[in-house]
Each structure stands twice: as structure tokens, then as C-alpha cells.
Amino acid sequence: MVVKFNLNGIDVEYVIKPGDYLLDTLRANGVKSVRKGCNASACGVCTVLVDDKPVLSCSYLTAKVEGHRVTTVEAIQEEAAALSECFSKEGSDQCGYCNSAYALMVHALKKENPNPTDEEIRDYMVGNLCRCTGYQGQQKAIRAYLGGKK
């Protein structure tokens, strides 16, 4: 079957099997920023945005993106770089494997709630696990990126 959708501002068509997951489709087509972690929808490292909403691409059927917009970190490079700098300043960028998903989550959070409290940031980011760092540094980095203290 053929699925047509917008990937990072470009209309694409991919030939897929009905049971293909978005993570595998994107990676097979050169989008390597979408990472494979647990493959069980438990870690968040495979997060992409579909119509600006975070989804776990390891369990999201590719066929469901027909006619929708899919955003990966390639589309938000400047924003991701700025967030990465904040992570680095807080010492919370250890291996970087989860950074793409974090950048997309923060991007989505900023669109939904441009002025979140610390609790709202924690609640929004809860599904994104990092095996290298504690979450306080990431919380501080996200807060610094979004601006100010709450």
C-alpha cells in the first residue's frame, strides 16, 4: 500500500505494508534521528510529532499518518541546538540518545503551553526516559530554554 503524508514540510509517498510502524518506515527512508529504544512504547525515545502532537512511533502504524504532518528533529534544528546548549550547560546531555525526542517534546510543549510551570513541564515530559542523567538537570535545562524560573 502507498501512504502519503507531509514529512518535515515535504510531501512524501512511501510504499508500506499494512502493519508497518512509523519508526521503521522513517528509519528505512533515511530519518535516523528517530531512535529505537524499548520498542514497547515505554521509553519515549522514538517520539515524533503528528500534527504537532507527540506520538510514540514504535507503536504508531504508518498507515495512520496518511494525509497528516509528521515532524522529526530535522525540522527544528535551530530549536534543538538551542535546547541542546541548555542541556549541556546543566550537564544533562550525557550520551544524547534521548535528545531528539526531548527536543520534539519541548517543541510540542512550547506550542501547547508557552509558559508552563515546573510541574507542567514534568507532567508533559514524564514518558521520556533518560538512562544517563537525573531528571533535575533536564528540568533546569528545559526551564532555562523556555525562559525563567517558576
Q: Does position 149 have pLDDT exceeding 60, yes or no? A: no
Of residues 126 and 96, which shows the higher confidence score?
126
pLDDT tens for residues 50-102?
Answer: 999 999 999 999 999 999 999 999 999 999 999 989 988 887 766 666 788 88
Contacts for 58-63: CB closer than 8 Å, 24+ residues apart: 58/21, 58/23, 59/21, 60/21, 60/22, 60/23, 61/18, 61/19, 61/20, 61/21, 61/22, 62/3, 62/14, 62/16, 62/20, 62/21, 62/22, 62/24, 62/25, 63/1, 63/3, 63/16, 63/18, 63/20
Percent of the chain at pLDDT exceeding 90: 59
The predicted structure's pLDDT at residue 131: 64
Domains of the chain in sequence order: 2-74 (3.10.20.30), 76-146 (1.10.150.120)
